Amino acid sequence: MDESALPVEGSWTRFAVIRGDPVLGGVVLVVAGVGLAIATGLGLLPWPVLGVALVCGAVGLGLVRWSRATYRRLLADVVRRHADVDPGSSPVPWVDDDLWRERNAFDPELDGPVLLQAEIDPALRPFGRDATGAFTDPVLRPVSEVELLAARTGTLVADQAAPRPMLPDRIAPALAETPGRFLVVAPRWPVCCERPATLLTLRLDQRHADALVLGPEPDAPVDPAVHGQLGFQCRGCGRRYATDPAW
């Protein structure tokens, strides 16, 4: 019999399978069957009890197999329903569209099990695209005149809006309210052309090799071989920067 073909449409059955109750029950039956068999073999129980032990073991193993197969089927259904959901464009101009899609794309291995568990415990729902607080304690890093002259200019993305010039005391609160599935603690955020630079990547590679690495203080010497994890571009002038988290 194909255990995965058994119905699980009832809310109680679905809840139990997701929570793992049938697996626990099956293990208890198997352990009970083994205990009865051992006790029977030692002469502590009459031999007819051995039949009960075998039944307990068989039922327990079947329950475990059915529960695991059903859980895999439920998980596959969750993955199928969410795999092709498009994260869309970045809702804020200081996060690049490509980075937004990369970080908010559905991950079957990570998101699938959590979404399934969230059906019985909503607190386990993954950090959603609509939740704010993607950047914790952002630290503003104004770009100096010397650094403006040293920074190289890259090609601007034509179809993505640039951040508007903002008052300094408004930038950090705006960054802290950024939605999305980011977990960046204390990012050091370049401020150029009176606006926050746009975050392009959380891990620098050869595409960002020409970015000017900014240290904690303006004009302080920095070793590019050691520093620079986050990649930015000012969408006002096109200059490219790299920074490290402040922590």
Mean pLDDT of 115-126: 73
Separation CA 177–CA 101 (nearest Å): 18
Contact 110, 185 (CB under 8 A): no
Q: Tell whether the model's pLDDT for residue 62 goes beyond 50.
A: yes
Q: Mean pLDDT lowest for which of 66-80, 124-138, 140-154?
A: 124-138
Quick one: residue 64, left, alpha or beta (phi over 0 = left, psi -120 to 50 = alpha)? alpha
Place of tokens 């607080």: 133
Q: What is the pLDDT of residue 158?
A: 65
Q: What is the pLDDT of residue 85?
A: 79
Q: Tell whether the model's pLDDT for residue 193 goes beyond 60.
A: yes
Separation CA 110–CA 208 (nearest Å): 28
Residues facing residue 237 across a β-bridge: none
Angle, helices 21-41 vs 49-82, to 10°: value is: 160
Q: What is the pLDDT of residue 7?
A: 42
Q: What is the pLDDT of residue 126?
A: 54
Please tell me the pTM assigned to this model: 0.70
Residue 7, both tokens: 């119905």
Share of the chain above pLDDT 90, in %: 32
Residue 110, both tokens: 């990570």
Q: Tell whether the model's pLDDT for residue 124 goes beyond 70.
A: no
Angle, helices 11-19 vs 21-41, to 10°: value is: 70
The DSSP result for 78-97, as a single string, is HHHHHTT----S-SSTTB-H
Other beta carbons within 10 angstroms of residue 107's beta carbon come to 14
pLDDT band at 130 (very low <50, low <70, confident <90, very high): low
Q: Tell whether the model's pLDDT for residue 36 goes beyond 60.
A: yes
Separation CA 118–CA 46 (nearest Å): 47
Per residue in 199-232, pLDDT tens?
Answer: 999 887 777 778 899 988 888 777 766 666 899 9
Residue 32, both tokens: 């009970």
Q: Tell whether the model's pLDDT for residue 184 goes beyond 70.
A: yes
pLDDT band at 127 (very low <50, low <70, confident <90, very high): low
SS (H, E, C) 197-233: CEEEECCCCHHHCCCEECCCCCCCCCCCCCCCCEEEE
- Three-state SS at 123: helix
